[in-house]
Amino acid sequence: MYLSNIKIRNFRLFSSIKLKLNPRLNVIAGENNSGKTALIDAIRLALDTNSAEWNRVKEDDFNSPSNEFSIELEFDGITVEQASIFVEHLTHKKTNGEERSSVLHMKLSAKLTNNLRRGTRFIQTEFRSGLDGSGPQIEREIRDYLSATYLKPLRDAEQELSSGRSSRLAQILASKVELRPDTDDFKALLEVFIQASSSFKKNSSITKNQTDIAELVKKLSFKNTPFNPSIQMTGDKPFSEMNETEKTRSFSDILERLNLVLDTDTPRQGLGYNNILFMATELLLLKQEEGQFPLLLIEEPEAHLHPQLQMKFLQYLKNWQSEGDKQGPQIFLTTHSPNLASKAPLESVIIMNEGRAFPLRKGETLLDEDDYVFLEKFLDVTKANLFFARGILIVEGDAEAILLPTIAELLGRNLEDYGVSIVNVGSTAFARFAKIFLRKNIDDGSPVMPIKVAVLRDLDLWPASAEETDGNPHGFKERKKPNKNGRGGNLAYWLDPTKADQVPSKIETLQKGIHEQNVRVQVSDEWTFEYCLIKSGLHSEIATSLNCKLADLPEDPEERAVALYKEIESSSKKTELAYSLSSELTRNYSKQGGAGRLRSRLPKYILEAIDHVTEEHSDTNVPPEASVASAVMACAAAAAEDGSDVYSVSEDHNG
C-alpha cells in the first residue's frame, strides 16, 4: 500500500496542486519557500505521525483570503489484509479493461469559522473517505494505522534519545514485539526491576531520610491530620499482585529512564552523529511495520550531516527499498543539498517551484529512456545545483563558466541576485540536461516549468582565413573531409560557399527539440565563445590578457580575430585567459557607464542568454527565435560574395 496521489486546495502557498507520487522514493528539491515543507505538512495533517508531537490546523495554514482548505489523499496497492481494515472506506476503480482494484480516498476538510475560542477563531475539521470526501467519516483508528514516521529538520536528536516522559526511545522500545506485556522478556525485566527497587528502599540511608522527612512533616502539620510519608518507586508491588495496567505503567516508567548513546567510551557526540543514531532508531521501528503501512517523512536530513554522510544515508534508503521480497517504505525526503540530489534516482526527484510540483519521472518530461541512464551517471554534485536554481546557464567549457558571472555582474545582472546557476557540461549532453526542464504534456494544460534555461552553443563555423593554406600566415585549421556519416577528422561537417543557405538549418539542428517553453539554445554568432568575444569588440582586452601587442596584429578585424584565437587555441590558454580577461573586464567596465559600453561590445547570443535567465519567466511556449540564424546566414552570404572558400559547422545532436 502506498500514497499514490495528493490533491491540495488553498493550503498555505498552494492555491491548487495535484501531484502523482512515486511508490517508493520521492526526493523533493527546490529553493526556499517553494512548497517543500508545505507538502510534507499537508501529509502530516491528513495522516498524523507516530511521534509525541500534536499536529493541528492553525489559522496561517489557510491560503489567504480563503477560509477553507482541503487535502485529498489516494492510496493504491492495497493488500487483502489491509482491505479488511478499510472495508467500508474503499472505492473500486477500473484499471485495465474490466479489471477492478481497491483504492482508499481520504479527505481532510478544514474551515475557519468566526466563533472565538480562547481568543482565536475556531477551526472546524473533518476527515472523510470516498471520492471528493463523499464517504463516511474516518475513525481515529484508521488514521492511527496510516500515521507516518516523521523526522523533522533541525531536530534535537540528543533530547529525543534522552530519558523522560516524552522519550522517543521509550516509545520505540515499547513497540518492539519482544517487549509486549504478554512476553517472557517483559515479565523477567519487570521482576528484576521490582527486586532492585525493593533492595533500594531497604537501604539504611533511604529509610533514615524517609523517617527524618516524616518527623518534620509531623511538626509542620495538624495533629488531627496525620501523614505517613513514604518514598515510592516504580514496582513497589510484587509482580504477582499487579494488574495489567500497573504492569504496563511500571514497565513504561522503566523505559522512560533509559538513554541511548552512540559509543560507551565517548557518550558525548556532535549533532551529526547524534542525528545518525536517532534516525537509526526510527528506521528500526519502521522496519518492524513493513507489513503494515510504512510511510517515512524526512525533512532536510543534510541539516547536521557532512556530504559523505548525506550520501551514505541516501544509499542506505535506496538499498532498503530494493532488498529482499518485502517492499520497503514509501519515503518523502525534502532537501536543499546538491549532494543528495545528485545521488537520488532522477525519476524520484520532484522539483518544487512557486507552489507547483514538477516530477521528473518518465512520461512527465521530454527526456528519453537513455537520457535517464546517462544523467544518473553524469549528474554530479556540481551539476545538481540546477534543481535549486531560478535560472540556469548551461555552457560547454571552463571559459564560459569563469567569464559569464563577471560579464553579467558588469552588465548590472549579477547572477547571484537572480538565483542563476552555471552548469558546465563539457562538449556533450546539452540536450539531455536541457530536457530536464521541458514538460511533456503542456498541450493538455500542464504548466511550463518556471525556470529560465539558456544553453550556450558554439556554432564552430570558421571563415576561410582560419584555414591553413599557402600564403595565409594566420591560418591554422586543417580542412578534412568527414566520413560518410558526416563525422570524422577535425570537422563534423563542412560546406562550400555555394551552400551558405544551409547554415541556418544547422543552427536549427542544434536547437531542435529543446528550444521551446522556457529553454533557449543561444548559438554563437560565429565560431567559438572566445572568437566571438574578439570579433565583437573585446580584441583589445583579450590581446592584453594574452600579452600580445595590437600593433603586431593584422588590421583587418577578421584576420586579427583569427590571429588572436590561434594564439589561444595553439597554446591551450583558454582557462588561463578566462581568469585574466575577467580581471581586465572588471578594470575597464566597472565604472559608471561601463555597462553600456560593455553591452555594445558583446556578441548578441551572450546578451540574449544573460537577459533570458535574469528576466521574469513566462508560462507560454515561445517559438524559436530566428535572430541568430539570420545573423549567421548574412555572415555566410557575405563571405560567399567575397570569394571565401569553405565554412564548417559542428553538428552534435546531443550537445
Is 284 within the bounds of a domain?
Answer: no
Domain annotation covers residue 501: yes
Task: State the cell numbers at 421.
Answer: 546557476
One domain for residues 349 and 386: no
My answer on whether 119 and 248 are in the same domain is no
Tell me the pairing of strands 647-648 and 330-335: unpaired
Residue 188 CA to residue 15 CA, distance in Å, equals 56
Report pLDDT for 161: 60
On whether the CB atoms of residues 257 and 240 are closer than 8 A, the answer is no
Structure confidence at residue 489 (pLDDT)? 39
Residue among 423, 425, 347 nearest 388 (CA): 423
Q: Are residues 540 and 594 in the same domain?
A: yes
Q: Is residue 350 domain-shared with residue 467, that is, in the same domain?
A: no
Domain identity same for 146 and 205 = no
Residue 131, CB half-sphere, CA atoms under 13 Å: how many? 4
C-beta separation of 394 from 451 below 8 A: no
Establish if 275 belongs to a structural domain: no
Distance of alpha carbon 224 from alpha carbon 235, whole angstroms: 31
- Give bridge partners of residue 388 from the DSSP assignment: none
Which CATH number does the domain housing residue 53 bear? 3.40.50.300
Last residue in a domain, options 332, 359, 386: 359
299 and 442, same domain (yes or no): no
Verify that 386 and 483 share a domain, yes or no.
yes
Indicate if 330 and 434 belong to the same structural domain. Answer: no
Instruction: Give the residue from 235, 255, 275 where a domain finishes.
Output: 255
d(CA 633, CA 647): 11
Is 271 inside any structural domain?
Answer: no
pLDDT at 442: 83
The two beta strands, 356-359 and 149-151, are unpaired
Q: Phi/psi at 94 (nearest 5 deg)?
A: -80, 140
What is the residue range of 465's domain?
369-648
Our count of domains for the chain comes to: 3
Asked whether residue 277 is assigned to any structural domain, the reply reads: no
Tell me, yes or no, whether 132 and 179 share the same domain: no
Averaged pLDDT, groups of 10, the chain, 655 residues long? 96 95 94 94 92 83 94 93 89 74 94 86 93 91 87 66 67 74 83 80 84 85 80 71 81 78 63 72 71 82 83 85 68 93 94 94 94 91 92 94 97 96 86 94 84 92 81 81 48 46 67 91 91 95 94 92 92 88 96 95 97 74 43 40 38 36
Q: Which cell numbers in the block locate residue 206?
A: 533511604
- State how far the Cα of 506 lies from the Cα of 521, in Å rounded to an integer: 13
| 14 CB neighbour count, 10 Å cutoff | 21
Residues 120 and 65 in one domain: yes
CA separation for the pair 200, 168 (Å, rounded)? 28
Nearest Cα residue to 21 out of 56, 72, 70 = 72
Residues 441, 309, single domain; the answer is no
pLDDT at 9: 97
* 105 shares its domain with 222: no
Closest CA to 298 of 290, 310, 288: 310
- What lies within 8 Å, CB to CB, of 273 at 6+ separation is 262
**DSSP assigned state of 162:** S
89 in any annotated domain: yes
